[in-house]
Amino acid sequence: MIPRGFDYFSPQTLEEALALVAEHGAEAKLLAGGHSLLPMMKLRLAAPGVLIDLGRISDLRAIREEGEQIVIGAMTTHAEIEKSGLLRRRAPLLAEAAAEIGDVQVRNRGTLGGALAHADPAADYPAAVLALDAELTLVSQRGTRTVAAQDFFVDLLTTALEPGEILTEIRFAADGPRTGSAYLKLHQPASGFAIVGVATRVQLDSKGKCEATAVGVTGVAPKAYRATQVERALKGKALNERIIAQAAGKAAAGVEPLSDLHASARYRKAMAEVFTRRALALALERARRRQ
Ligand SMILES: Cc1cc2nc3c(=O)[nH]c(=O)nc-3n(C[C@H](O)[C@H](O)[C@H](O)COP(=O)(O)OP(=O)(O)OC[C@H]3O[C@@H](n4cnc5c(N)ncnc54)[C@H](O)[C@@H]3O)c2cc1C
């Protein structure tokens, strides 16, 4: 279908974009890679009268180190994240998740900020940013605020973004020694979206015991979540296959799994356990190699 007609703006700076957002209010939508918004407009599930394209704001497209932190601009594409040498070296989890998104065309156009703001329950990044304990920077003409990933995803397709706000960047700590991560996913064969996706980070202490784990799960529930019962079951333990398998049994504890034409709730719950177990085992192996 053809979308409804709209006015198009292409600001060159964040300040210009914020002014446009404030001026046009609820009538306006931000445009990033367009890979979620444009299909919705064509189906007339979204019909904004104004599109504000963030594509020319070069400040929003960067991956950099700030001390021990990694900072990524919202307009950075999936392909740039996937191929970033800095990320592969210092904090590979997000790059591993980016490599799993859609196909080459989607990865070349789609952006980190667009994917997070869209908050699709089957999107890959939410699991990774939860496991990374990332912080998201939201800017409006009223000021700047920082929101933890845990508080950003509110519900299906719903985030903590308020009217007039633009997500400008995310930041998280680079991996320290004895830290390993992994993102594993069961793909929906046609779209590539996650039926289940599990992002894990495992940190070992100097004796090789589990100091901390973080487990982010996408695809299973209306919004991505941290599997806190799994994390608690592993803390302080000398990890092995049996302990990981026992803990992974709690991967969907406390959530009501989705059921749709792609997978039943029971299947999603079972796959959450399987992929949590596999992702933890891989992250543990990588943590042991990273002294
Ligand atoms: C065929 C296909 C396969 C795909 N497969 C996958 C997959 O396997 N895994 C996966 O995770 N995703 C997948 N996607 C989605 C893809 O990752 C999109 O790129 C992503 O969801 C949206 O990013 P975008 O940059 O295209 O945002 P857009 O579509 O431009 O915007 C999405 C929404 O976010 C808002 N927005 C955009 N940027 C900002 C910002 N900086 N601040 C505030 N709001 C903003 C927009 O107003 C809009 O509401 C797929 C898409 C397609 C078309």
Please provide the average confidence, as pLDDT, over all residues in the chain. 97
Mean pLDDT score, 203-217: 97
Pick the CATH number of 179-289 from 3.30.230.70, 3.20.10.10, 3.30.390.50, 3.20.190.10: 3.30.390.50
Across 64-71, average pLDDT: 96
Residue nearest to atom 27 of ligand 1 (CA): 114
pLDDT tens digit sequence for 101-141:
999 999 999 999 999 999 999 999 999 999 999 999 999 99
Instruction: Report whether pLDDT(270) > 90.
Output: yes
pLDDT of 219 > 80? The answer is yes
Whether residue 191 is predicted with pLDDT greater than 90 in this model: the reply is: no
Q: Would you say residue 18 has pLDDT above 80?
A: yes
Q: What is the mean pLDDT of residues 80-96?
A: 98
What number does the ligand 1 atom closest to the CA of 193 have? 8
Q: What is the pLDDT of residue 291?
A: 76
Within 6 A (CB) of ligand 1 lie: 29-37, 39, 54, 74, 101-102, 106, 110-111, 113-115, 117-118, 120, 123-124, 161, 166-167, 191-193
Return the domain boundaries, the chain.
Answer: 7-53, 61-173, 179-289
Structural domain 7-53, CATH architecture? 2-Layer Sandwich (3.30)
Residue closest via CA to ligand 1's atom 46 equals 30
Q: Atom 32 in ligand 1: which residue has the minimum CA distance?
A: 114
Tell me the average pLDDT across 84-97: 97
Compute the distance from residue 252 Cα to the ligand 1 centre, in Å: 26
pTM comes to 0.97
Architecture of domain 61-173: 2-Layer Sandwich (3.30)
**How many Å lie between the centroid of ligand 1 and the Cα of residue 291?**
36
Give the pLDDT of residue 43: 94
Spatial separation of the C-alpha atoms in residues 108 and 284, rounded to whole Å: 31
Q: What percent of the chain has pLDDT over 90?
A: 97
